[in-house]
Structure 1
Amino acid sequence: MRSIPEEPKKVGTVPIIPDVPAPLPVPPVGEEGADVNPKATLSEYLYSILYMPHSMRMVCMTNLCCWMAHVCYSLYFTDFVGEAVFGGDPKAPEGSEGRALYESGVRFGCWGMSMYSLSCACYSLVIEKLIERYKARKVYICGLLFYSCGMMLMALTKHRVGVILFSWTAGVMYSTLFTMPYLLIAHYHASGTFAVTAEGEAIQEQGVRGLGTDVAIVSSMVFLAQFLLSCFLGTVVSISGTTTAVVCVASTLAACGAGFATQIMYLDL
């Protein structure tokens, strides 16, 4: 039979039927090499959660501060607009001027929330290009500082224009929350590197780490953020006597998140 000549492969193309090497013989149980990848025990699994590498710990701390900062905005923003910007009073009697001003402020705050959603969609389209051009470190830190400055300016101005304008910074924060932490975790697992020496050489991870576990740990920061905010934010508002404190707390927490982001290991991202 005549052999069919192989077509030259083009760069960047994937063959329809890839060349699969012949399977290697599997040694029976008990022989040398049979237990190359042992399964992790329950104690090793729990150990990997409690004693995570410094790189993972910094990602979790950054994500925790970011979620706390964002929850301040998403839950209490319209209340801030109704009271601090419009001068309304939610406790005023029905039909009074204070109650009407508060309800008008809440309705106007919804426009700010819509700007936040729009900015999140727009920023999500360009964040990948920004990472390619400016690297992940600058994009992560600058995104958090951008939100922090926006919330502080909103608290200082207490103006309707500021409500619309500075709400765009919240969209940047929300898009960053669902992009950067998971990008970093995937990069750690893809490279198998969770720590480096002072010379920049990779340190092999001794424990067993799972990608799904690390993603779940970082994602759980949103629940911890909600719990912590429910413990102290009401007290902060009561002591300060104004809902402006909520926006100030959001700005402070975002700045703390930017500080933790400076300690994250970015490798070559």
Structure 2
Amino acid sequence: MKLTLWELVKVNLLPAGLDFVSCAAFTFIVPSLMSSDLQSDTVGCVLACGPLLAMIVGPRVGAWSDNCQSRHGKRTPFIFCISLIILLALLMIPYSSVISQVLPEKYSGLFHLGVLFSGIVMLDSCVSLCYTPFEALLDDLYESKGFVQRAFGIKSLMVSAGGALAYLFCSLDLKNFWLSTFLGGADKLLFLTLFSVYALLVMISMASIRASTFTDNEGNPQGLISISALSTMILRAPLVILKIPAAIRMLFCSIAEMIRSLFMMPNMFHRLWFAHFCGWMGLMNLITYYTEYVAEVIFEGDPSAEVGSEPRNLYEEGIRYGSIGLFLQNIVAIVCAFYAEDIIKFMGRRNAFVYSCVSFSLASAAIFVCRSVPVVIGATSLTGFLLAALQVLPYSLLSQYHKEAKTNAVGEESIYERGLCEMYALLDSAYYLSHMIPIAIVTTLLTITKSPLSYAACSAIFGCLGVIASTQVHYDRIDYIRYLS
């Protein structure tokens, strides 16, 4: 069977939509929370809850997906249901103040924060969770035909394209659009745009998967939620309160099961997991706090200044320039992802991974030292090499481990016989954890130093850890045979 580039692009519109939503939403959310009256500890806890929930629930979702016998496929039901929660969160965040008005005024403020924080956690966790069944779906579709590395390369390209468009969109001054005034604010325009774009991309991606010659029953969400089923769910919604104790028990069981599963994995997996973790830890620290860093350090703006004052205008201009830097980061990642197979053939997997970590460390150091806007933005664009590498190499390596283990099933390698989606979920736990550790470290450093320089310093340190960890990964059959011996 022939696999066309156009088919891969259409299938991978889903991860493009996920990254578009995540990057655009949190480019707005993080500065808004940091410039509010909330304490930095509270903001850090809210931002950490989403990845924590995804890390705990991810392996359980992966196991459910591996054992799913639905006529709609093994992966589609989970992708579709998680996408519905994402769409709900995109409405909860901008309209949290409107929703809170259903309660008396003395309770509305607290309820407003509850709805807002719930929407942020739901969005962050579900965007992360949705990647796991989709990655397993790509492996299901293309691994047996030898197209899995190409599929993950195009996935990386589409993720970067979604991020690039998101940052380009956020670099615009949405307050000056007439539609912003009509809808009631720039935040509502932003999130309603994200809602519309994501809903459209999910439908196109599902239709492309259903039409693919590589699958029989995936990509068909029709009938998953009927009118009768939806009405039953609405009537039973109040009974969810009675399920809270069971949900808490399941949460703790999931934590214990995830930790046990990670410790049971072979040493090869542990090395790959740690390199994946260190690479993403540096990147996520940079992406999460970059616009704030540019606005406060490079442009010397003040988020707490009065609206319309010069320090506040400099801060908002810095946010927009920071978005341009992240846009260029994704452009570089798009180019690297498009030529991923050629780069890997030319450099080899080991050199591609190690050099991407080295380039990130040097770029992070330049961002920390320099105060020139062009230099900082140029250095930021170079980090796109690592962004592309982390979205391709760890997953193709894990697929290779899984395939080699079936061929040479000896000793501890038989552990790889667990479901593939669960394996990807365990690897993705490094990605989820990479959100939380930087937030905890940076929040602590901010409390101690009171300086936003902590953002860039942490990225450079995490990048150096990534360089060390990337040299310890098993990349090819020679490493694999040496490990078995």
Q: Distance in 2 between matches of 1:223 and 1:128?
A: 26
Shift of 1:170: 2.3
Aligned counterparts, 1:129-168, within 5 A: 129-168=342-381
What pairs up with 1:48-59 in 2 under 5 angstroms? 48-59=261-272
Residue 57 of structure 1 aligns with an amino acid whose one-letter code is: H
Once residues 137 and 163 of structure 1 are traced to their aligned partners in structure 2, the CA distance between those partners, rounded to angstroms, is: 28
Superposed displacement of residue 191, structure 1: 1.6
Equivalent residue for 2:415, pick from 205, 208, 215: 208
Post-superposition Cα deviations, 1:81-137, rounded to whole Å, max 9, x if no partner, equal 101101111112222221111111111111111101111101111222121122111
**Deviation of 1:203 (Å):** 8.2
Partner amino acid for 2:415?
A: V
- Change beyond 3 A, Cα 1:85–1:190: same
CA contact under 8 A between 1:88 and 1:100: conserved in structure 2? yes
What TM-score does the superposition give when structure 1 sets the normalisation length? 0.75
Q: CA deviation at 1:57?
A: 0.3
What secondary structure does 2:474 align onto? Answer: coil
**Alignment partners' CA distance in 1, 2:363 and 2:291:** 16
Q: Which residue of the partner structure matches residue 19 of structure 1?
A: none
Q: Give the Cα separation in 2 of the matches to 1:69 and 1:226.
A: 9
| Residues 47/72 of structure 1: CA separation in 2 closer, same or farther (3 Å cut) | closer
> How far is 1:184 from its partner?
1.0
**Larger helix share, 1 or 2:** 2
Instruction: Kindly indicate whether the alpha-carbon contact (under 8 Å) linking 2:366 and 2:376 is maintained by their aligned counterparts in 1.
Output: no
For 2:384 and 2:306, how far apart are their aligned partners in 1? 35
Matched, 1:103 2:316: yes
Q: Which residue is equivalent to 1:239?
A: 448
Question: Which entry has the higher C-alpha Rg, 1 or 2?
Answer: 1
Per the alignment, do residues 185 and 97 of structure 1 end up closer, same or farther by CA in structure 2, a change over 3 Å counting? same
Q: Which residue of 2 aligns with 1:78?
A: 291
Task: Decide which moves more: 58-67 or 205-214.
Answer: 205-214
Q: Give, as a single letter, the amino acid of the residue that structure 2 aligns with 1:78.
A: T
Q: Which runs of 4+ in 1 moved over 6 A?
A: none
For 2:296 and 2:258, how far apart are their aligned partners in 1? 48
Quote the offset at 1:46 in angstroms.
Answer: 8.2
Alpha-carbon distance, 1:254 to partner = 1.6
Matched residue SS, 1:95: coil
Length, aligned pairs only: 219
1:215 Cα deviation from its structure 2 partner: 1.4
Relative to 1, partners in 2 of residues 1:203 and 1:254: Cα closer, same or farther, differing over 3 Å?
farther
CA gap of 1:236–1:184, structure 2 versus 1, over 3 A, is same
Partner of 1:218: 427
Residues of 1 paired with 2:411 and 2:325: CA distance? 45
Structure 1 residue aligned with 2:404: 191
Higher RCO (CA < 8 A, seq sep 6+): 1
Once the two structures are TM-superposed, the CA of residue 259 in structure 1 deviates from its matched residue by: 0.5
TM-score, normalised to structure 2, is: 0.43
Change in CA separation of 1:245 and 1:45 when aligned onto 2, cut-off 3 Å: closer
Contact 1:69–1:254 (CA under 8 A) maintained in structure 2: yes
How much identity, in percent, do the aligned residues show? 23
Task: List runs of 5+ in structure 1 lacking aligned partners.
Answer: 1-43, 195-201
Structure 2 CA distance for aligned equivalents of residues 79 and 103 of structure 1:
10
Q: Which amino acid aligns with 2:440?
A: C
Instruction: Check whether the contact 1:193–1:205 (CA below 8 A) recurs between aligned residues.
Output: no
Matched, 1:266 2:479: no
Cα deviation per residue 1:15-40 (whole Å; 9 max; x = unaligned)? xxxxxxxxxxxxxxxxxxxxxxxxxx
Q: Does 1:60 align with 2:273?
A: yes
Counterpart residue number, 1:117 = 330
Matched, 1:174 2:380: no
